């Protein structure tokens, strides 16, 4: 890298808009959405989608609720043309869905595009040509007037062919490609020149797409450009102002959101941001950002995992694990403090303690997009007691008392640390079983019986202690106290019960009940024990022996 980058690079000159109003606005409704997955996203693939893959993804986009879908570039290849004809001739396009096709300002390409659309009910013909100084100088070697003439001629060629689409509801769209790098006054001039040809009206609006084709400035500059155009272009009420952002500076989402504040009506983008270079706008992220603010995005991502599977299968790409909302790990916390906060927040929500969603670290309820709470917290060596407790409870119904969480959490973390990886719920349960449930030495229960009369319980038990069978008996105000008294009478250590809890386990667990007991020894030491049995009384007796064995 250069020590003095200013010797090679320069800052982008911002638009002068001292009275900009977009910073004070708030979004209150969803924009018009247009998916460009089948065009921009397809062109960005090393191996473009075939017709079958494009059809599967098209149907997934329709299911999500997209009403405008750019299905391709039919003049670019036979596959693209064939896909258009398949959609139209086989009736795959719902009546309320408009297909969009991109075309350059060349007559032969426009001719083939129009041919591909014959018989469709609703279409958008999307004309574009490049307008930035670099494109004019390097690619075309043409002046501003010559570039404007290209756009105007392309608009005329399309207008001349509209009678060929009789019976089709046709909307026209123009993009000054590389708009964000184009002099703002020239962007206005060339757009109005196209408007002169197409003559949009408030009743039959034209789409003016203003793409951030290559991000060269901060997103607030793009917002200024959009607000300037909305203010200064003529016949604004005859236009649908559309955004099409890329992600070269990793601010495509921000640029879109600020562009909407600046007055845009419509957004083009792709699922999960697939597109050339660093990608297009991630529509899923912007839509769910609206959703988390209580705004209906008018798109249905209630089964986002299934949509991701279709996307990955059709494109051959993988959604990164940290992709907002859709990634495998975005609703996962490994940090112990985060896990504890999430667990408490979910408990508050499930009890109806809050009117609005306000769970720490979770911007939306994972269940709203088809995720499950068990995905929220996973356990590795960085996890705390909260994560351990949550996984045991959510997957197996094991509701550890808080003090027991403090005891078992570090034990589990040491075991996980030794493994050096994340552990699954079954592994964590096995650790718990080995530490508590299967503690059968030096005391092991063979038989237990208790009965009560007048508030006094008497018990008889058969135990194995250090390889020898021992019979004990005792009495107390309950089966547990009677058993503890029997152990002390038989020469066992003097202990007292300081905590007891029991509950049924989840239906899919083999045993039906679990008991937790904390014993305190005469020297002040405390240990927890746990027991599992189909008989809740036996579960509690096993829990006593578990704690006794752990006291040593």
pTM higher than the cut 0.85: no
State the burial class of residue 510 (Cβ atoms within 10 Å of its Cβ: 0-12, 13-18, 19+).
Answer: exposed
- Rounded CA-CA distance 493/510 in Å is 33
Q: What is the CATH number of domain 443-551?
A: 3.30.160.270
Given this model, what pLDDT does residue 422 score?
A: 85
Burial of 366 (0-12, 13-18, 19+ CB in 10 A): buried
Look-up: residue for tokens 């009117």? 355
Choose among 77, 236, 238, 231: nearest CA to 172: 238
Distances (CA, A) of 383 to 327, 389, 492, 549: 20, 11, 37, 27
pLDDT value at position 373? Answer: 63
Q: Residues, the chain, total? A: 552
Report CA torsion sign: 523, 526, 531, 536. Answer: positive
Q: What is the pLDDT of residue 320?
A: 94
CB 151, CB 129: distance < 8 Å: yes
Q: Are strands 443-453 and 456-465 parallel, antiparallel or unpaired?
A: antiparallel
- Span 63-78, pLDDT tens digits: 999 999 999 999 988 8
Please list, residue by residue across 109-134, b when 16 or more beta carbons sit within 10 angstroms of its beta carbon and e when fewer do.
Answer: bbebbbebbbebebbbbbbbbbbbee
Q: For residue range 466-491, what is the model confidence (pLDDT) as tens digits?
A: 889 999 999 999 999 999 999 998 88
Task: Give one DSSP letter per residue of 296-321, joined into a string.
Answer: --SS--TTHHHHHHHHHHHH-----T
Q: What is the pLDDT of residue 204?
A: 97
Three-state DSSP at 32 gives: strand
**Other Cβ atoms closer than 10 A to 57:** 24
Q: C-alpha dihedral over 494, 500, 504, 510, to 10 degrees?
A: -30
Please give the average per-residue pLDDT across 21-32, as a whole number: 98
Rounded percentage of the chain residues whose pLDDT exceeds 70: 98
| Local structure of 330: helix, strand or coil | coil
Contacts of 233 (CB under 8 A, 6+ apart): 188, 191, 192, 208, 239
pLDDT at 462 over 70: yes
- Signed CA dihedral, 437, 440, 442, 446: sign only: positive
Query: Does residue 263 register a pLDDT over 80?
Result: yes
Is pLDDT of 382 > 90? no
Q: Which of the four pLDDT bands, split at 50, 70 and 90, describes residue 453?
A: confident
Structure tokens at 258: 């600020």
Q: Supply the mean pLDDT for the chain.
A: 93
Residue 509 in this model has a pLDDT that exceeds 60:
no
Q: Is the pLDDT of residue 149 over 80?
A: yes
Annotated domain spans of the chain: 31-315, 336-436, 443-551
> Looking at residue 185, what is its pLDDT?
97
CATH of domain 31-315: 3.20.20.70
- Asked whether the predicted pLDDT for residue 325 surpasses 80, the reply is yes
Given a contact cutoff of 8 angstroms between Cβ atoms, the answer to whether 551 and 521 are in contact is yes
């Amino acid at each position: 890298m250069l020590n003095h980058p200013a010797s090679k690079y320069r800052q982008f000159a911002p638009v002068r808009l001292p009275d900009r109003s977009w910073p004070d606005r708030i979004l209150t409704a969803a924009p018009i959405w247009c998916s460009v997955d089948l065009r921009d996203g397809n062109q960005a693939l090393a191996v473009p989608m075939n017709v079958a893959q494009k059809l599967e993804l098209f149907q997934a986009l329709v299911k999500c609720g997209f009403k405008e879908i750019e299905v391709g570039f039919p003049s670019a290849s036979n596959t693209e043309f064939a896909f258009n004809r398949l959609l139209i001739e086989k009736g795959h396009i719902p009546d309320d869905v408009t297909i969009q096709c991109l075309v350059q300002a060349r007559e032969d390409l426009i001719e083939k595009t129009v041919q591909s659309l014959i018989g469709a009910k609703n279409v958008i013909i999307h004309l574009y040509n490049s307008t930035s100084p670099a494109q004019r100088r390097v690619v075309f070697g043409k002046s501003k007037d010559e570039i404007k003439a290209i756009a105007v001629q392309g608009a005329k060629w399309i207008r001349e062919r509209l009678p060929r689409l009789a019976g089709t509801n046709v909307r026209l769209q123009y993009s000054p490609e590389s708009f964000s790098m184009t002099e703002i006054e020239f962007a206005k001039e060339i757009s109005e020149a196209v408007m002169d040809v197409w003559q949009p009206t408030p009743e039959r609006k034209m789409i003016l797409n203003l793409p951030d084709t290559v991000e060269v400035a901060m997103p607030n500059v793009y917002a200024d450009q959009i607000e300037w155009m909305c203010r200064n272009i003529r016949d604004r009420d005859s236009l649908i102002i559309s955004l099409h952002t890329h992600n070269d500076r990793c601010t495509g989402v921000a640029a879109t959101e600020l562009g909407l504040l600046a007055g845009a009506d419509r957004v083009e983008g792709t699922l999960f941001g697939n597109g050339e270079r660093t990608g297009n706008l991630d529509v899923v992220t912007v839509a769910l950002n609206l959703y988390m603010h209580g705004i209906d995005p008018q798109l249905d991502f209630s089964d986002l995992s299934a949509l991701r599977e279709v996307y990955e299968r059709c494109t051959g790409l993988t959604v990164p694990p940290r992709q907002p909302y859709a990634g495998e790990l975005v609703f996962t916390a490994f940090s112990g403090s985060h896990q504890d906060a999430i667990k408490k927040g979910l408990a508050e929500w499930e009890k109806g303690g809050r009117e609005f969603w306000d769970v720490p670290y979770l911007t939306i309820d994972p269940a709203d997009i088809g995720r499950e709470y068990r995905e929220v917290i996973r356990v590795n060596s960085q996890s705390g007691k909260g994560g351990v407790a949550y996984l045991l409870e959510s997957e197996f119904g094991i509701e550890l008392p808080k003090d027991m969480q403090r005891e078992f959490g570090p034990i589990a973390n040491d075991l996980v640390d030794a493994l050096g990886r994340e552990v699954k719920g079954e592994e964590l349960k096995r650790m718990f079983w080995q530490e508590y449930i299967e503690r059968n030495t030096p005391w092991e229960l063979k038989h237990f019986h208790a009965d009560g009369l007048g508030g006094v319980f008497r018990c008889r038990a058969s135990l194995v202690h250090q390889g020898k069978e021992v019979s004990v008996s005792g009495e107390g105000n309950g089966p547990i106290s009677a058993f503890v008294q029997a152990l002390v009478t038989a020469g066992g250590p003097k202990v007292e019960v300081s905590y007891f809890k029991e509950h049924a386990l989840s239906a899919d667990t083999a045993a039906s009940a679990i008991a937790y007991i904390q014993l305190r020894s005469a020297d002040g030491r405390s240990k927890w024990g746990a027991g599992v049995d189909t008989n809740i009384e036996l579960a509690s007796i096993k829990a006593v022996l578990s704690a006794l064995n752990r006291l040593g």
